[in-house]
Amino acid sequence: MTTRTHIFVVLASLTLAIAGCQGPGHKTPGVVVGEDTITIEQLALRLGLRIEQRDPTFVVMKNAANTVIVFTHTDGRFFVNGKPMGSVGSVTIDHGVVRVPATLPDQIRPFLRTGVPEQPTTPGPKGAVVIDAGHGAHDPGTISPTGLKEKDINLRVAAKVATLLEQRGVAVVMTRWQDKFIELEERAEIGNRRKAALFVSIHADSAPSSSAQGFTIYVAAGASAQSYRAAHAINQAIEKTGMNNRGIREEDYRVLMKSKGPAVLIELGYLSNPQDAARLADDRFRDRLAQAIADGIQAYLKK
C-alpha cells in the first residue's frame, strides 16, 4: 500500500467510524456468549477473507475481490467494497477478544463478489511460508466422540497461524481458507510453485486407544536437515503449551514426500483422547497452539 492510499484508508476509516456509530442513544449491548458468537478471526475465516488491519474500533478484511470493514462496537456498521450494507449487531469484548454474532457471516456473504480465483491460484509471494489446513469439505479427517471434526480444527488453527505470521511481516500462503477439498499432491504443489521457505501441514490425530495423547511433528523419511530444523523449532515451541510431546518422527506422508523444500506435518493432538479433544475444542487453547506454531516457524526462519 502506498502512503497516499494509506492516508486515504485512515481518513475513510475515520469517516466510517463516525458513520458507523449510532450515537449515545443506542441500546445496551446484549450479552451474547458461547455458540451464538464468533471471534473476528472466525468471521474472516468463514468469509474466506484475511485480516488486513486491526484497530480498536474497526477491522479491515480482504481477499482478491473484496474489502470488508467491520466496526467492532454494538450496532456498528459493516461495509462491503465501500458501501454500508448493515449492522454487526451485538458486539462483546471478553479478555480482549472481540466477539460478534455467529449469524454475521451469513449477513455479509451475499454482498461479497465471487468468481475470482482463491489465493492458492493467484501469484503469491515467492519464498512464503505455506500453511496447509489438512482435509476439507467431504473429507472431515478424524472425528472426536463429541462430533468435533478434524478439518475444522485444522483450519481454525492454520488460519490463526497465518494471521499471526502476516502480522509479524512473514509472507504466508494458505492452501485453503475455506471448507474446501484439495488433493494432497496439489497442496504440496502450491508450496513447490512458490519455492516455499517452509511447508507446514496441520492435522489432528486419532488412535484406537483413548489413552494415546499429545502432539507429534512429522518429517518425511530421509528428510533434509532444514526440515528437521523446522520440526525441532516447532516442537520446542508447542511443548511450552503443556501438550504431551511425542517428539519428531519420520513418516512418508504424501504432502511431505511431494514437497521439494523443507516440510513438516504437525499432529496437534488426539481427538480420541478426552483431554486433547477438550483442548482442541477450546478457542483459547487453539490460539495458544497457533501462537506456538507461529513462534516455532519464526524461530526457524530467523536462523
Contact positions toward Zn ion, by CB under 5 A?
A: 134, 141, 203
203 vs 258 by CB, closer to Zn ion: 203
62 vs 246 by CB, closer to Zn ion: 246
101 vs 134 by CB, closer to Zn ion: 134
- What's the closest the beta carbon of residue 135 comes to Zn ion, in angstroms? 6
Dihedrals φ, ψ of 147, to 5°? 95, 5
78 vs 253 by CB, closer to Zn ion: 253
- What's the closest the beta carbon of residue 233 comes to Zn ion, in angstroms? 22
- What's the closest the beta carbon of residue 260 comes to Zn ion, in angstroms? 22
77 vs 135 by CB, closer to Zn ion: 135
- What's the closest the beta carbon of residue 156 comes to Zn ion, in angstroms? 14
203 vs 288 by CB, closer to Zn ion: 203
Q: Give the whole-angstrom CA distance, residue 270 versus residue 279.
A: 10
- What's the closest the beta carbon of residue 151 comes to Zn ion, in angstroms? 8
Nearest Cα to 161, choosing from 50, 61, 71?
A: 50
Q: Give the whole-angstrom CA distance, residue 126 versus residue 98.
A: 33
- What's the closest the beta carbon of residue 234 comes to Zn ion, in angstroms? 17
- Ranked by CB distance to Zn ion, the top (closest) residue is 203
Grid coordinates representing 21 are 456509530
- What's the closest the beta carbon of residue 105 comes to Zn ion, in angstroms? 25
134 vs 136 by CB, closer to Zn ion: 134
58 vs 270 by CB, closer to Zn ion: 270
- What's the closest the beta carbon of residue 154 comes to Zn ion, in angstroms? 7
CB atoms under 10 Å from CB of 212, counted, come to: 16
Residue type, 117: P
